[in-house]
Structure 1
Amino acid sequence: MIVIFKLLLATALVIIFVQDVKERQVYWFLFPLVGVCCGILHFKSTLTELFLTSCIINFSFILFLLMVVKVYSKFKLNLKLKDVFGLGDLFLFLALIFSFSSISFIITFIFSLLFSLVLHQFNYSKKNHNNVPLAGYMCLFYLFTYLGYWSGLIDSVYNI
């Protein structure tokens, strides 16, 4: 049964990556699918109390991050949040809340943002889009993270 959720998660992450990079549009139902699959895999690997605590802390981290982006976009860039940050990015952030324990989540989330920045710098000159396919790049990073964990290269993502 767990294998089905792993396959669904990997497939959804790949589809989000491809759609976001090519079209800058992603099917909305993929984000809840990612959230449910991440949540089930995390829930099955830890205690209920730890799962709920991690989700609350992860949500708080995302909320803080979004507030910082909102303040920065308003005062520094003089733009509205919707002009700086895509709805798909928000949906992915919310779906990933259920993915890992808090420390692992914060570390993987920050490194996925750095990965997205580096990847976009390499691809920026080749594209004619002005925006970054953040959700797509992050999905690619999370796919690599999950594959590393499932193959045994990464020791644990649920206990740290």
Structure 2
Amino acid sequence: MILSLNIAIIGLLFWVFYQDLKEREVMLLLFLGLLVLGGFLHSQFQILELFLIHISINVTVVGCILLILFLYTKWIMKKQLFEAFGLGDLLFFLILAVSFPVPTFLVVFSSSLVFAYIVYMAVRPSLKEQTIPLAGFQALFVLLIMVSNLIFNFTDLYRI
């Protein structure tokens, strides 16, 4: 069952990557599927109280990042938040927050942002739009992590 969940999540992550890169918008159903499957997979490795504590901490971290981003876009960029940051990106942040325990979330989240920046800088000349498909690049990163972890079993992503 765990392997089936991982394969389903990997498929959805690929679809998010593909849609975000090609169309610059992702179907809400994909995000909801990832949220449910990622949260369910995470919950299978934690007792309920610890699972809820991890989600609370992760969502608080995302909230702090969004507050900083909101203030930056308002005062420095002189734009509204969602002119500079997509709703899909926010939803993907929340998917990561629900899908992993705190230590894994912090590493995967921060590494995926660095990965997204590096990939964007590498492919920027070939992109039609000059916006970053952040959710897509983060989905690609998580997909690569999950596939490599399934093949090589580097670490247990869900146990602390």
TM over 0.5: yes
Deviation per CA, 1:65-99, whole angstroms, max 9, x where unpaired?
10010001111111110100001111111122111
Partner-residue secondary structure (3-state), 2:157:
coil
Deviation per CA, 1:103-132, whole angstroms, max 9, x where unpaired?
110111000000000000000011120210
Deviation, structure 1 residue 16: 0.4
Deviation, structure 1 residue 159: 2.4
d(CA) in 2 for partners of 1:148 and 1:47? 26
d(CA) in 1 for partners of 2:63 and 2:80? 17
Deviation per CA, 1:21-61, whole angstroms, max 9, x where unpaired?
11101111000111111111111112222111110000000
Q: Structure 1 residue 90 and structure 2 residue 87: aligned?
A: no
- Aligned-pair identity in percent equals 32
For the 8 Å contact 1:35–1:97, the answer to whether it is kept is no
Q: Structure 1 residue 62 and structure 2 residue 52: aligned?
A: no
How many residues were matched structurally? Answer: 160
d(CA) in 2 for partners of 1:149 and 1:42? 15
Q: 4+ residue runs of structure 1 moved beyond 4 angstroms? A: none
For the 8 Å contact 1:34–1:96, the answer to whether it is kept is no
1:151 matched residue in structure 2: 151
For the 8 Å contact 1:42–1:100, the answer to whether it is kept is yes
Bigger mean CA deviation after superposition, 28-37 or 146-155: 146-155
Question: What pairs up with 1:77-156 in 2 under 5 angstroms?
Answer: 77-156=77-156
Supply the AA of the counterpart residue of 1:139: A
d(CA) in 1 for partners of 2:158 and 2:147? 14
d(CA) in 1 for partners of 2:29 and 2:54? 24
The TM-score normalised by the length of structure 2 is 0.95
For the 8 Å contact 1:74–1:81, the answer to whether it is kept is yes
Deviation per CA, 1:125-144, whole angstroms, max 9, x where unpaired?
11120210000000000111
* Gap runs ≥5 in structure 2: none
Partner-residue secondary structure (3-state), 2:28:
coil
For the 8 Å contact 1:116–1:138, the answer to whether it is kept is yes
1:8 matched residue in structure 2: 8
Supply the AA of the counterpart residue of 1:150: L
For the 8 Å contact 1:89–1:134, the answer to whether it is kept is yes
